[in-house]
Amino acid sequence: MRNRLCKIVATIGPASASPSMLRLIHNAGVDIFRLNMSHGEHDKLTIVAKAIRDIERDTGTPLTIFADLQGPKIRTGSFAGGSIKLRYGAEYKLTHAAESNDENIIPIPHRELLDVLEPGDVLKLDDGKLQITISERNDRHIIAKADTPGELKNKKGINVPGRRLPISALTEKDREDLAFALDLGVDYIALSFVQQANDVQEARDIIKGRAGIISKIEKPSAVDQFDDILALSDGVMVARGDLGVECAPEDVPLIQRRIIRSCRSAGKPVIVATHMLESMVESISPTRAEASDVSTAVYQGADAVMLSAETAVGRHPPTAVAIMDRIIGATERDADSDGFKNVPREEDGYTTADAITLSARRIAEVLDCKYAVAYTKTGSTARRLSRDRPHCPVIAATPDIDVARKLGLFWGVRPVVTEDISHFHEMIEKADTLAKQNGGHDGERIIILAGYPFGRPGKTNTLKISRIGTPE
């Protein structure tokens, strides 16, 4: 049983892809598994997905899987010796090519980037470690001046802060990976380098409801159009790696907080990702700053926090998960955590279901309820409860395994696959059983939410306060 409400996402890679390691990190606290399509081979990812579903079957716990598409990552080409030395103040010619033998030429195999560059544009290379500025452009060539000295190796990433590139968020590789991931039965697709709402709509037209969409916010243009992107997304990831390269460092924490608040207001899950426990790729313990970073995301109310290289290629995947689990638990035990605070909603009116879940939140706080048990066919009741942040876990009872798996991404929700109820006595009796299976004890209060007549979606109109083990 998880003694926390914020979820843990683990990126699967060579260090964690074996069935035995997948079980270890799940036991340590992983709720959601991220398949990185940038590096994974399809045959190996198929084996990983099967192993995760085997864990799901053996534990009886629905598990969430999402495929993270590579997106249109802009990179340099290749150099004759594997790299060139950038000299401070020296000029370099940018050419449309896959490789170059000239140490004064930087090959860029992306015509779309070269077409939009103008004098004054800054290019950050290799995750911001190096920087050049465009100094001249004419019909024959583009000249850039090196702002930092250093070694530029083959196929390093290029970021152009403040410049929206005329490219789709889905490359040909992404389309192939997307088709594969959908056939694999993943629950969500994460879109990389989203720049505008149309990028999300393009993916939605292809996916056609077969998986949810998580939009990764890692470009300033996505921040500027965030409300429109959020409206078309099923979830959001604050991808602080590229976002931190393209935005000023002091802006990233503010952007993170603003995105979390907007997602909570809209009732859509938000993941905070990148460099959370980065030192644990090698070390057996995190830095104090990293622990504070995880805690801050939990305080702000993130639905999930993510481990990247720590579990993909790190030396201690289960330890990294266990420590993140401890940090989350300690933060949530603080009564002042903003993670429990309700946030204003976007819509003007409230439905009956909204009134029910808001009442459940208040009842859980006043009566110190152990669980809220939500019977749901589509997941909407559990999603509403998650948005309202009750001071107890939400047991989401649904007959649909796909709904259960998607609910695994939401704050505080423990999805359970069970048959529909048909009458009030069964509603109370099954809620009692589910609460005990999740660690509840006789005499503890629970809240039960359902829709009457039973079995109809979108009709949450019933709230019942009960005690575990007490005949009704």
* Catalytic option among 64, 76, 274, 460: 274
Q: How many CA atoms lie within 13 A of 324 on its CB side?
A: 37
Q: Return the number of other C-beta atoms located less than 10 Å from residue 124's C-beta.
A: 20
d(C-alpha 424, C-alpha 454), whole Å: 9
* Catalytic option among 53, 75, 137, 145: 75
175 is catalytic: no
3-state helix, strand, coil in the chain (%, to 5): 40, 25, 40
Residues 251, 257 contacting (CB under 8 angstroms): no
* Catalytic option among 2, 4, 23, 216: 216
d(C-alpha 99, C-alpha 85), whole Å: 15
274 is catalytic: yes
d(C-alpha 43, C-alpha 54), whole Å: 17
- What are the φ/ψ torsions at residue 322 (nearest 5 degrees)? -60, -40
Residues 139, 83 contacting (CB under 8 angstroms): no
What are the angstrom distances between the C-alpha of 174 and each of 14, 94, 140? 21, 27, 33
Single-letter residue type at 163: R
75 is catalytic: yes
By annotation, the residues acting in catalysis are 34, 75, 216, 274
